[in-house]
Structure 1
């Protein structure tokens, strides 16, 4: 099984590697040979590839942070998500703190997350493990797609700069079209998984409130 460090290195690296790949391949299409050329030995080329791998991880991590800051910290995305879930949840009054922080969308969302975690802790391990693993998978996929979208947008900008500096060629035009298509596909996937998670979480909260799930001792969940 992949260990913690490897999973996160790959997750952070993919957006950075995508950016490097599209930018550098487009750069090479203009006949440039900066960084890679015939004068390098195999050992030197391997060293450069390893270095680019680490650079990609750093870039990918920064792109993850850009995604979080744009989509969560400096926006009202948490408020929009919570409102969609509240439209599905039937007994909203059982979620403490929502009304108290209704004008502070981040704090209201924190209270919502607290309620979600509190309900999970009352389940037996089998049910809790299934819900948390499914929740983790969808949330990880959403964040991964969000960071990848930042990478693709950054790639479009970098390729556009190359086109501005060196002019159009057939390859750069193909790269722009491909990146736009990939960006649209990633955006649709991001929206799909985001909506899926909203319904998943909201409907399980309804199940918690309706006492449809079991406590560790086999009894029904009681909402305190």
Structure 2
């Protein structure tokens, strides 16, 4: 699969989940009577297929927007400073960069930048002073990149589901008032969505921590190899 195709899929999944979540909530108000969702509309198979194609295509730019909201939220609200510093304090270069940096040491984004800079220096310069196999390190770097992409995809999916739920609840509340909360099907669907979000969030936290640890472990492998006689 080419990079452009992967990028489309990466943006598409959060966008499609956003659309699917909204339609599931809309169906719950109709008590999952699908014909009621299109009541008053004369739709044949061709028109339905066209609507499906439009929604599928719409999921890609929508997913891109969701990704931007996710990254803004990640760097604004998620604080991993202690986690990063705890993992990276065994790396001399990271500590040197931290002491000599004019950036804010308590800022999560700046700490992540220092971690990335440390990793790039080890991968670009220090690895040449070791006996480590280039292809093996390339494989490890590819594995790390894939894991980070999955973490961001999971985070963006969480944001997409939250956005769809909030938009639906506020719009439905504005139209029908508190009646929306009297629907048992809607409340059950909302409960299931909250459960799914909790599961996604726990997996995100675990996967995010593992990505930090994997980056740290690759650096340690290079550091250990540096100290071995050539």
TM-score range for the pair, normalised by the shorter chain length: 0.7 to 0.9
TM-score by length of 1: 0.80
Q: Which has the higher contact order (CA 8 A, sep 6+)?
A: 2
Corresponding position of 1:4 = 3
How well do the aligned residues superpose, as a CA RMSD in angstroms? 2.7
* Paired residue secondary structure (1:109): helix
**Deviation of the 1:78 alpha carbon:** 6.1
Residue of structure 1 in register with 2:164 after alignment: 155
Aligned to 1:184: 198
CA contact (8 A) 1:95 1:112 kept: no
Q: Is the 8 A contact 2:93 2:118 kept in 1?
A: no
Q: Given that residues 98 and 114 in structure 2 are in contact (C-alpha distance below 8 angstroms), is that contact kept between their aligned partners in structure 1?
A: yes
- The alignment covers a number of residue pairs equal to 211
Q: Tell me the TM-score normalized by structure 2.
A: 0.78
* Residues 43-122 of structure 1 mapped to structure 2, 5 A cutoff: 43-72=46-75, 74-75=76-77, 77=79, 79-87=81-89, 89=90, 91-93=91-93, 96-101=96-101, 103=104, 105=107, 106-121=109-124, 122=127
Note the C-alpha offset of 1:93.
4.6
SS at match of 1:40: coil
Q: Which runs of 5+ in 1 are unaligned?
A: none
- 1:22, distance to aligned residue in structure 2 (A): 2.0
**Deviation string, structure 1 residues 135-189 (Cα, Å, up to 9, x no partner):** 0121011101110110121233134235524423222112101110110010011
Note if contact 2:12-2:59 (Cα within 8 Å) is conserved in structure 1: yes
1:84 Cα offset (Å): 3.1
Moved over 3 A (4+): 28-34, 75-81, 93-96, 104-109
Residues 174-221 of structure 1, C-alpha deviations (whole Å, 9 max, x = no match) = 21011101100100110111111222222222222222699xxxx85x
